[in-house]
Amino acid sequence: PQSAELLQNFPNPFNTSTYIGYRLPENAKVQLSIYNLIGQQITTLISTTQNAGYHELEWNGCNELNQQMPDGIYFYRLQVQSDTEKSEITRKMILRR
């Protein structure tokens, strides 16, 4: 890819867990966080530097304290910062227990 790509989570809607994939064109600082419908950050799945390529993370539907979140719409945001790119990409997912 020419720039970072954030893929749609799968499955969506999901019950117990879902997978979020993304691609990086070059090594970059990456943060992937989950937010509720009113914009409150629920958890951060990763915040580190990663190599170029395909990456995938699993979200188990829990917050930072490992408490299950209720049914609803959530957003996941990928923030990428490298030598040539600074971007944020957000997508929507549905948790249905």
pLDDT in tens, 40-81: 999 999 999 999 999 999 999 999 999 999 999 999 999 999
Res 81: pLDDT: 97
Q: Which of 76, 13, 8 is nearest to 42 (CA)?
A: 76
Res 5: pLDDT: 97
pTM of the model: 0.94
Give me 54's structure tokens: 């395909």
d(CA 3, CA 35): 23
Instruction: Please identify which residue in the block is written with the tokens 């879902």.
Output: 18
Res 50: pLDDT: 98
> Is the per-residue pLDDT at 1 higher than 80?
no
If you average pLDDT over every residue of the chain, what do you get? 96
